A and B are shown apart, each in its own frame.
Chain A
Amino acid sequence: QVQLQQSGPGLVKPSQTLSLTCAISGDSVSSNSANWNWIRQSPSRGLEWLGRTYYRSMWYNDYALSVKSRITINPDTSKNQFSLHLNSVTPEDTAVYYCTRDSWIHSGRSFDPWGQGTLVTVSS
């Protein structure tokens, strides 16, 4: 059974960098059949896909247009986890952030499982 455990601060100051980590158990961040995603949810923007990292003989990333200039998602194979870094944050980035997997061999193009979520507030 795959489980995702998120960690990271719940409060970030404006203009600083939001950083979260997602530890994977029951699967590998280097799996050739899985993609590792970050999604956020806020009352104003709803659910919003932010980006993903995945390994297919080499590492790839895809990012949403809305955050492309500010986002980095990195794998950490030594710890079997992946991270989200979102720089130059504003109060509009306040949201619950989720990590999640999509794996075509398990559940097509859908997200399962999900991390527990981290409420990140951007405020001074």
Chain B
Amino acid sequence: QSALTQPASVSGSPGQSITISCTGTSNDVGGYNFVSWYQQHPGKAPKLMIYDVSNRPSGVSNRFSGSKSGNTASLTISGLQAEDEADYYCSSYISSDTLYVFGTGTKVTVL
């Protein structure tokens, strides 16, 4: 099972909006509404930001939103803030022996 494809880096100025894409296939992203997004600061464990494509866990800022079209899922961060600078990973459930696949990761830089 191949990793989901994400851009290596995305940057934006404070207050701007950015979007991170996560491209898979009909066997993963396109086949299930089970895409999740994680934020990871250096030396820390990943933190869940979005689950099941577009649901936000309690406590996560509403500046984070998720969507999906076909085989590509997206994470949008609006009103970019310095604290949003981190690595972001997508993940999708897949119906095979290996139940979950992750994205390659995107480094978000706040200019």
Is there a chain B Cβ closer than 8 Å to A48's Cβ? yes
B interface, size bucket: 20 to 34
> What is the number of residues of chain A that contact chain B, defined by CB distance less than 8 Å?
23
Query: Which residues does chain B contribute within 8 Å of A85, judged by CB atoms?
Result: none
When the two chains form their complex, are residues A47 and B89 in contact, meaning their CB atoms are under 8 A apart?
A: yes
Is there a chain A Cβ closer than 8 Å to B64's Cβ? no
Query: CA A108 – CA B105 in complex, angstroms?
Result: 21
Chain B contact residues, CB within 8 Å of chain A: 1, 3, 32, 34, 36, 38, 44-48, 51-52, 55, 57, 89, 91, 93, 96-105
When the two chains form their complex, are residues A114 and B46 in contact, meaning their CB atoms are under 8 A apart?
A: yes
Given A46-B104, A109-B36, A110-B36: A52 touches B48 (CB 8 Å cut-off): no
* CB-contact partner of A107 in B57, B93, B102, B104, under 8 A: B57
Q: Which 8 residue pairs spanning A and B have beta carbons closest together?
A: A110-B36, A110-B51, A108-B52, A47-B102, A112-B48, A114-B45, A109-B34, A49-B100
